[in-house]
Amino acid sequence: MGFKRVSAATGVVALTGALLLTSAPTASADYIRDKQWVIDVMNFKKVWSESEGQGVTVAVVDTGVDGSHPDLTGQVLEGKDFTGKGGGVHSDFTGHGTGMASLIAGHGHGADGSSGVIGLARKAKILPVRAGTGNEFDDNQWAQGVRYAVDHGASVINLSFGDSLARPGSEGAKAIKYAQEHDAVVVASAGNDGAGQLEYPAKLPGVISVGAVDNNLTLWENSNYGTGLTLTAPGVKLVQADPTESSGYAEGTGTSDATAYVSATAALIRAKYPNLTAGQVINRLIKSATFLNHDVKKAPDEEYGYGIIRPYKALTMDIPAGPKEGPLAQASPSTSTNSGTASGDNDSTSKVKKKKKSSSGSIFLIAGVAGVVVVGAILFAVIRSRRNRGSGGPGSGGGIPPQGTGYPPQHPTYPPAQQPYQSQQHPSPYTQQPPHQGQ
């Protein structure tokens, strides 16, 4: 037993002037909502015509979840604090757990929920499990938290952290196996090192390991890759709830955030198809994913896994249920991008080939992003550590960098309070090319 440093997800930027209104009557009436580029790319409204995650409980094993945030009121269950540090499970001194919860099940606020952060599975419930208070998690505590989540009805478990001690045979690994034996979908972040191997617990058998793509749907440069990667999802410049900021919001980047979107998609599937096993839910996630125009020769790919998630397709495609244990329990890796069979070698520690360059054809550029100029005074944001938790120590991209290091050299700028922010329209790259797999 011991404390491990958890990984940072690059810099997190506080959003000031957060409740600016636009003057365009047809645009969103909220600055924060306008910044959520994923809404257009995934077409949340279309997804919600099939499922909103109702009746599903997602456990967020993290730094606690502040259920009093206006975008999460009524969504957060009682949960439990395993840290023994005081404050309770609904205290979140870093904002990380609350941020993940908002991406999963935020419902916004104001008239018809039109303001603030909206989550992909906005009617799912969040079971908060507090297993860390800062940049360290205790392996026994989060393992207890996973078991608690299973015993209290969570059918999806979000682990947006890494723990180098969570190897096979560890308490964490045993807890995850317990969750899998009780039909829970376990989702974990691959890590933010830009390294050719995954963090634990994402590397454990049967866990959905998640990498991050940017708003061009191209692999984020610091996303871990390699053998055992399952899926990728948006994880760059994502606005989320953050009770530690005066505005209540921050913008974060990392595989933590991508993991939250995969957990949300799993919740959507579980709500629509309640008779599917956890393995069969994973099967739908894998079979409906896409590589878009990326030069992928076989699946799983070391950079994209089985592809980028497509929530609407995961809900609507004609996909046979498949074996109850699901594809991640099968032993043989696929040799074709049309295959949905996953590798069981999530424990492999072999070296992977040097990271190849991702394709990023201009057809997938989000319209208008390159040409947008924000007019007005620049408010420099407050940089804090945003974990996608990983093993700590020198050389580990999972370690939290010291203040002023380890972050991108430039940070997003925001308009001053008196300057209206115009909504950016992002056409969905998901609709521009046929998928390479899953159909």
Active site residue 34: no
Give 3-state DSSP helix, strand, coil % of the chain, rounded to 5. Answer: 20, 15, 60
Query: How many helical (H) and strand (E) elements, i.e. helices and strands, does the chain have?
Result: 9, 15
Task: Name residues whose C-beta falls within 8 Å of residue 102's C-beta, 6 or more positions apart in sequence.
Answer: 69, 71, 72, 117, 119, 240, 241
Q: Could you say which of 115, 155, 256, 358 is catalytic?
A: 256
Q: Could you say which of 96, 107, 109, 436 is catalytic?
A: 96
Q: Are the C-beta atoms of 189 and 220 separated by less than 8 Å?
A: no
What are the beta bridge partners of residue 238?
A: 252
Identity (one letter) of the amino acid at 64? Answer: G
Active site residue 62: yes
**In this structure, are strands 249-252 and 238-241 parallel, antiparallel, or unpaired?**
antiparallel
Judged on CB neighbours under 10 Å (0-12, 13-18, 19+), 247 is: middle
Alpha helices by DSSP H, listed for 237-301, are 255-272, 278-288
What is the spatial distance between Cα 428 and Cα 425, in angstroms, rounded to a whole number?
9
Measured torsion, CA atoms of residues 114, 119, 122, 124, in degrees rounded to the nearest 10: -160
Provide the token pair at 257: 């955030």
Active site residue 96: yes
Helices 171-181 + 139-151 axis angle, to 10: 10
Q: Could you say which of 30, 34, 51, 62 is catalytic?
A: 62
Phi (first) and psi of residue 347, to 5 degrees = -95, 0
Phi (first) and psi of residue 101, to 5 degrees = -60, -35
Which residues are designated catalytic? Answer: 62, 96, 256
